[in-house]
Amino acid sequence: MTDTLQKFMFENTAVRGELVDVSETWKHVQARREYPAAVKTILGEMLSAAALLSANLKFNGAIVMQIHGDGPLRLLVVECDSDLNMRATAKLADSAVIADDTTLTQLVNQNGSGRFVITLDPKDKLPGQQAYQGIVPLDGESVATVIENYMMRSEQLDTRLWLAADGNVSRGLLLQKLPGEGGIKSASGEEMEPWDRSVMLASTLRTEELLSTDIETVMRRLFWEEDIRIFDPKHPHFLCSCTREKVGSMLKMLGQAEVETALEEMGKLAIDCDFCGQHYEFDPVDCAQLFVSEAPVETLIPASPSKH
Ligand SMILES: [Zn+2]
């Protein structure tokens, strides 16, 4: 079983769509941790949403979606890069007890101070180039509406999402109206605008149906009457981008004093990746090396090969 991202266009209209099934990736995400059912729904829906929105990436890099919560669910992070490598994790508040029917608002926006953050992070940054980050209040009762509102407000893009996830499945459908083009008017002028028509058809899709139906069948059921161009499918998969070097730079950012205090207490530093569980250890020698290699590279490596 491989995951699939299927892009399509409604012919002769300015409406594009995508269907995604990231159920296998979702199983990898859950392999490390047992999340409460209500958290599974939200994190699983965000996973599908990130795969769908990665198509909006205009550069080689990654889209990172985060929800910073003020309730029992503190943090959700989902990443998807241009090659559809994906990873995700969630952090619960200490001793949080989460009932199955807990809503998004109860989980992350109890006091209205929850935040939704989208970061577009280019892989090979030009000098001075920074990741683009948009931070907005959690405006909506579902992951889909929060993202729809974000896309409208920040990107001025009409976007509709249908997301569904449980412990086994994560699937989604996206429709987007391409910017700068109006609807195509039919000769009679009475036909519904293509955007409204596609949204109306997709709105018949129920969450239960999306959970229990493969995306090929969903496509047929919803749009069998439409003239649709289907593109080559792509295949998202789980891949964590953590490395020993990145963990090392994180320790460097903590500062030498902090690291030395921790070493005195524990003898060595053990760090587990939140996304994949990879275990990293830094003993006193490793840590010392982190802070001596501050010297400019030129002093360590000859600038050019010497002549013999
Ligand atoms: Zn990792």
How much is the pLDDT for 65? Answer: 96
pLDDT value at position 299? Answer: 47
The model's pLDDT over 14-25, given as tens digits with 9 standing for 90+, comes to 999 999 999 999
3 Cβ neighbours under 8 A, 6+ residues apart = 20, 21, 22, 23, 24, 25, 51, 235, 236, 237
CA of 280 to the centre of ligand 1 (A): 10
| pLDDT greater than 90 at residue 79 | yes
pLDDT digit string, tens, across residues 125-158: 777 778 888 898 898 999 999 999 999 988 888 9
Q: What is the mean pLDDT of the chain?
A: 90
pLDDT above 90 (res 82): yes
> How many whole angstroms from 242 Cα to the centroid of ligand 1?
4
* Dihedral sign (CA 5, 9, 10, 13): positive
C-alpha distances in Å from residue 55, one per residue of 6, 10, 33, 49, 163: 11, 17, 28, 11, 16
Does the predicted model carry a pTM greater than 0.75? yes
Q: Is the pLDDT of residue 57 over 70?
A: yes
Q: How far is the CA of 277 from the centre of ligand 1 (A)?
A: 6
Q: pLDDT tens, 210-229? A: 999 999 999 999 999 999 99
187-198 per-position pLDDT tens digit: 555 567 999 999
pLDDT of 300 > 60? The answer is no
What per-residue confidence (pLDDT) applies to 181? 52
β-pairing, 132-137 vs 115-122, is antiparallel
For 287, list phi and psi in degrees, rounded to 5: -65, -40
Q: How far is the CA of 275 from the centre of ligand 1 (A)?
A: 5
pLDDT for res 207: 97
**pLDDT, greater one: 55 or 279:** 279
Q: How far is ligand 1, taken at its centre, from the CA of residue 213, in Å?
A: 31
Rounded distance from Cα 81 to ligand 1 centre (Å): 15
